[in-house]
Chains A and B, each alone.
Chain A
Amino acid sequence: MIHLPKHETKLMVAVHGWSGILLGLLLYAVVTTGMAAVFAEEIGTWSAGHVSYQSAFERPFADDLRRLSAQTPAKYHEGADLFEMGDHDMGVFFHRHETEPDGELVSRGVYYQLGKDGQVTDRQFGTGEEIFGPRNDTALSSFLVDTHVRLHVPNPWGLLLTGILGLSMLVAAISGLLIHRHLFKDVFTLRRKANPVLFNRDRHSVAGTWSLPFAFILAFTGSFFSFFGTIGVPIVAMAAFGGDVQALNEAVFGTPGKPDPRPVAIGNLDRVATDSIRRAGDVPTFMTIENFGRADAKVTTFHAPTNGGLAPVSLLYDGAKASFIATKPLIGPKPSAGGTLAAIMSPLHFGNFAGLLSKAVWFGLGFAMCYVTFTGLKLWLVRRAAQARSLDWLDRTVTIVGLGLPFALVVCAAAFLIALPLGSTVYWTPTAFLIASTTVIAGGFLWPTSAGFSRLLQLATAGLMIALPPLRLLTGGPGWATALAAGQPIIPALDVAFLLAGGWMIWRVRDSRPHRDSDTLPSLQAAE
């Protein structure tokens, strides 16, 4: 492939290795939870036992919204966001944009949740961030997403950290390409019976080669998301608008038009919803109303991409007349190169542009990323095993994180299912993760051999995965017949996925039992 001179190749090998070993464990945590978060929505449905299938936008909600707007102080009519919450209930957030004393831009207002009968089931006042924290029915998917996005480190530091991890993954992908001389020649070569260095090198580079373009895309888009709001927007706003972030937002996301503050009642939003479903071929994922109750009110609906497209579709309506104005690009008032590029960043990262099929493929790619990161760490260790026995602690740490993290996540899911009927998932989901992690860390360092502990962890994870579907049923979750009758195939599908994944792991651990354990260092193998 690419032939660098010897000195440069050596340098790239060092860059590849050190970018991996210094940040690899954290990166592994981000990619593992990212892989699971591809199905965050489905995991939410499965874990909370949601069986409704009809979207909140398919039920009449316009009159309820008028009633709520009358109860909400007029200053929060600047914007109203509508989206689905819980089991296809409607969430409404009346808000206005405010700048905090520290310069942070927030949206503050009143949030209402409406049940299927239109009654208010929840009412809260605060900023978007305060209101949209984890809830009893979303604690598990929130936990996954929060780990992936910021590793639970407070803003903006968590995002900066994951952004740096994204860059280190980008560096690993590019340097990996540069140092691999026989990229295509080696793409089918996996020597399972070779010495540990070759064995680990093969499995790392085969998985890395096949998934290389996507490693690049996922790392690039991931670091874009992390740096976008934390560094990018403030700096570009500083350069272009003298620091006025609101002006930048207005230019990029705003809807152009002359302000007209005359009070005019909002039009029939049910008509808007029905029309948008007809035009986009799917229910809105989100609806936002600017200047609610004014003559210049604008409604924008967002929909999943239509056939063949990557970017979500958005439609613009006149709010007062409830009439269609135009199909609008997601970003910018008119279609443009920059707007299109910005709009495909999220489908490229999340793989959510064509339903379950694209998500399944992205999950597979995420699995490849985890595998590449983990085997990369193993390879680094195996290469040094002969020289330094003192790296045993690092070998144990890699096992603890590599196999302990999936274990702790499955424990989280089990704890969520148990705590769901008690209403305490928001506390128990992260707590269970901490307890499981502490146990794994202690066990990992106390267990006689790293290999033995790795086997134990895999069996425990597999056993728990198999136990999840029965646990879900025992704690009051809907059965397969109920779910299927309600048109919710996700629940049985995830049950089956957990059973299969657990079974496969047990089969794999049993399969690797005889004398040669692939995951051990040669020094440990010799001791067996």
Chain B
Amino acid sequence: MGRPMSDRSRKWIRILFAGPGAVIIAIVVMAGMALWLPRGAAGIDNLVLPLILVPLIWAALFFHACLDQRLARVAGVALVLLVVHGGLVAHKFLDRKPASVEPHP
């Protein structure tokens, strides 16, 4: 343990985060954002903004995974985003009380 990772495995971890990782996390963040973003003046910002921002979220994750020299930070940021947003969505689904479903306007 504590042995530094080989360049090869570092490279593969980076590819994992820049490739499939960025796609999955962007989608999960989009879903989770709808639950915490303020609803705004018309009550739709939380629904519309994630839809608009998802290409940019993906691009940010992709370039971060490529360019951040500290691999731990790449993994940290990505996994925190994934856990927080995935957790929000999971919480919503596990919490099956009818009150948790947004009332239809």
Contact = CB atoms under 8 A, between A and B. Distances in A.
Question: In their complex, do chains A and B touch, with some C-beta pair under 8 Å?
Answer: yes
Interface of A: 4-5, 8, 11-12, 15, 166-167, 170-171, 174-175, 219-220, 223-224, 227-228, 231-233, 235-236, 238-242, 247-248, 250-252, 254, 256, 329, 331-339, 341-342, 345
Contact of A11 (B58, B66, B102, B105): B66
Contacts of A240: 34-35, 46-47, 102
B78 interface: no
Interface in B22-39: 27, 30-32, 34-35
Contacts of B62: 171
Contacts of B104: 247, 250-251
B49 interface: yes
Contacts of A248: 47
28 contacts: A4-B67, A8-B67, A171-B59, A171-B62, A220-B55, A220-B56, A227-B55, A232-B30, A238-B31, A239-B31, A239-B34, A240-B47, A240-B102, A247-B104, A251-B47, A251-B102, A256-B105, A332-B44, A332-B48, A336-B41, A336-B43, A337-B41, A338-B46, A338-B49, A338-B52, A341-B48, A341-B49, A342-B48
A170 B69 CA distance: 22
Given A166-B55, A239-B92, A338 B44 contact: yes
A242 B43 CA distance: 18
Contacts of B47: 236, 240, 248, 251-252, 338
Interface of B: 27, 30-32, 34-35, 40-52, 54-56, 58-59, 62-63, 66-67, 69, 89, 92-93, 101-102, 104-105
Contacts of A167: 55, 58-59
A449 B49 CA distance: 51
A15 B54 CA distance: 20
A489 B80 CA distance: 58
B45 A232 contact: no
A18 B2 CA distance: 35
Contacts of B59: 167, 170-171, 174
**Among all A-B residue pairs, the 3 with the closest Cβ atoms:** A332-B42, A338-B45, A336-B42
A413 B93 CA distance: 53
Contact of B48 (A11, A219, A242, A339): A339
A345 B58 CA distance: 18
Contacts of A223: 55
Given A250-B105, A251-B105, A342-B51, A12 B66 contact: yes
A105 to B, nearest CB: 16
Contact of A331 (B44, B55, B69): B44
A4 to B, nearest CB: 7
A174 B60 CA distance: 10
Nearest to A241: B102
A223 B46 CA distance: 20
Nearest to B41: A336
